[in-house]
Structure 1
């Protein structure tokens, strides 16, 4: 009887809501829907403006350009879900890339060993960020702002500011730039690796206790701690796993660029945060999905790629992305006000 009464009350409450309120509830439960709608609109608009946009070859190029940012955005999503932020993401990736490339090209080290050392270094860099946040109790923004400068300087000092071309490195480090074609549609192994990262991490954060703890810590760290969640250990794990993913992104970048350069992807930090925010993950923590992040990364690259095909100046592309970020945060604020 109580259950029936409760269901009737919930149904009555739902009917009393305006269409806008119902939309607010839907987006609160599925934050990836609004960026998906935006992505579809962008695809249609660019196809109308330039019919070559939706060709198989163009879509292959778009996916290749999205791969590195999409990988970085996975680690950034984990951190933002805990109400943190990582400004050192690009610096960690570049440092890892230069170390693995230099060890293989100049140190004569086997490609697999160089790769493992580079990924381990990135993992350690992420763990260092996590240690400073959880043990020294410093704000994530300040910690990663500082390590951004530190890791960037180390990468420049270590490499001497010089690039290492693909022909000086073993095939393994360049492997993710190779690929296969399906007609005119070309995929690289890097895209396959990014897809695997999303599948694995999507399962982890949605189907495991660790993933539920990540959301709990981001939603309310103190309440999570009082409920028995080891908040500091979870946070340290999040930053460490993020570092591991940045190391894999470094491997992706070598294959994508065909070289290792200390000046690669200077706006990686901005792009990864933009992808996460546009994808519906709340900057206040506790809400978001990896599917939303993937859609967000595609939106960022779709606008850049489509506007480039239209011959629009780069300044206008930055303006478009900036507007998207502000709109995405405004929508997030509106969704957070949803009433049960």
Structure 2
């Protein structure tokens, strides 16, 4: 490869060039228009309590979507995130209630188990060179089965307050906000900083843009991918804790559609399924957009099946826009 060609590939791998400044503008405008529409349909929509409820409802999927964003930015996808989260939640609950572990140690074990699943995903992708879709599809079934085997199909209740405290709320003006919602927003802020302001974040974008070009420029591609999947797994563990805090139980049936919901949030937020382009702030917007659509339709009395229908249409439109944008960029 000539020096000129290598330079061009390096430029293509740069997140500054790969992410248009307006990549989150479209989702943000869609969010504003959606809010404006539901405001005209329900007087309750803009109340502080209802908006706080929306954030509370999306905090689990939103946290999952942070890990999903990392994976998708590297041109991968994780279908196992919801099942991993469910297993992590059952591990936390069963160790704390059934084995009498201290709550903090049980939480750490649950997050560690989820990170272990992510590590295995990463090893299969990097060392065995299996496609992420196949790896995580298989891991979805593995985690799902282990969750039901380990829990004996039983929902675990009677959890210590230390494990459910993130579901408690505090007053903010006239609105009660849960601590879990604040944690989710803090995780988004941390992820935005790491991806946008650190060399590690720039490497993630470069790998997603062109893994071979990234390797030729000295980026340890396999180590970055391994770190991405492991960190994503740990994030799923935090989502498991938030799920426990919200429901108050360890539920083996939890998270069965959250993998698709997390992908929906990432795609609606403007992150490309082909990797290398997107912002985690867009993922937050995408998660809020889904939450607001479902909340607004509920306030309007629309059946839940239509909520699913509209969400599916939005995902198809978002992917279509991304594909057209990539083709337009390729012609240039």
User: TM-score of the superposition, structure 1-length normalised?
Assistant: 0.90
Which SS does the other structure have where 1:260 is aligned? coil
Mapped to 2, the partners of 1:210 and 1:182 lie a distance apart of 35
Say if 1:88 and 1:148, in contact at 8 Å, map to a contact too: yes
1:29 Cα deviation from its structure 2 partner: 3.0
The correspondence for 2:226, drawn from 236, 257, 260, is 236
On the 8 A contact 1:59/1:185 being kept in 2, the answer is no
Whether the 8 Å CA contact 1:28–1:335 is kept in 2: the answer is no
Structure-1 separation of matches of 2:299 and 2:127:
48
Note if contact 1:130-1:240 (Cα within 8 Å) is conserved in structure 2: yes
Partner of 1:94: 86
Pair 1:126 & 2:87 matched = no
The answer for the alignment partner of 1:140 in structure 2 is 132
Measure the CA separation in 2 of the matches of 1:290 and 1:182. Answer: 25
Partner of 1:63: 55
Q: Alpha-carbon deviation of 1:100?
A: 0.6
1:3 corresponds in structure 2 to none
Residue 224 of structure 1, CA deviation: 0.7
Give the equivalent residue in structure 1 for 2:254: 264
Structure 1 contact 118–247 (Cα < 8 Å) conserved = yes
**1:277/1:325 contact within 8 Å kept:** yes
Q: Which moved more, 1:147-156 or 1:310-319?
A: 310-319
Which residue of 321, 330, 339 corresponds with 2:311? Answer: 321
**Which piece of structure 1 moves more, 125-134 or 168-177?**
168-177
1:17 maps to which residue?
none
2:97 to 105, 115, 139: 105
With the length of structure 2 as denominator, give the TM-score of the two structures. 0.92
Q: Which residue of 2 aligns with 1:30?
A: 22
Q: Would you say 1:82 and 2:82 are equivalent positions?
A: no
Q: Which residue of 2 aligns with 1:205?
A: 195
Structure 1 counterpart SS, 2:45? helix
Give 1:265 shift. Answer: 3.1
For residues 77-114 of structure 1, the C-alpha deviation after alignment (integer angstroms, 9 at most, x for no partner) is 00000000000000110000000100000101110110
| Structure with greater Cα Rg | 1
The one-character-per-residue Cα deviations of 1:33-79 (angstroms, maximum 9, x if unpaired) are 10000000000000101111111111111110011111000000000
Q: Deviations over 1:236-255 (max 9, x none)?
A: 00000000100000000001
Aligned to 1:15: none
State the partner residue of 1:161. 153
SS at match of 1:54: coil
Q: Secondary structure at the match of 1:129?
A: helix
Distance 1:54 1:62, change over 3 A: same
5 Å-filtered alignment, 1:12-51, equals 28-51=20-43
1:277 equivalent in structure 2: 267
In structure 2, stretches of 5+ residues that fail to align are 1-16
Give the whole-Å Cα distance in 1 for the aligned partners of 2:290 and 2:255: 14
> Which piece of structure 1 moves more, 73-82 or 262-271?
262-271
1:175 maps to which of 165, 169, 178: 165
Matched, 1:304 2:315: no
How far apart, in 2, do the equivalents of 1:325 and 1:215 lie?
Answer: 22
Give the 4+ runs in structure 1 shifted more than 3 A: none
> Counterparts of 1:33 and 1:186 in 2: how far apart (Å)?
29
CA contact (8 A) 1:79 1:238 kept: yes
For 1:201 and 1:183, the matched residues in 2 are separated by 28
In structure 2, C-alpha distance between the alignment counterparts of 1:30 and 1:260, rounded to whole Å:
41
1:205 CA displacement:
0.8
Report the count of equivalent residues. Answer: 314
Please tell me whether the aligned partners of residues 83 and 255 of structure 2 are also in contact (alpha carbons under 8 angstroms).
Answer: no
Q: State the Cα RMSD in Å.
A: 1.4
Cα distance, 1:334 vs. partner? 2.3
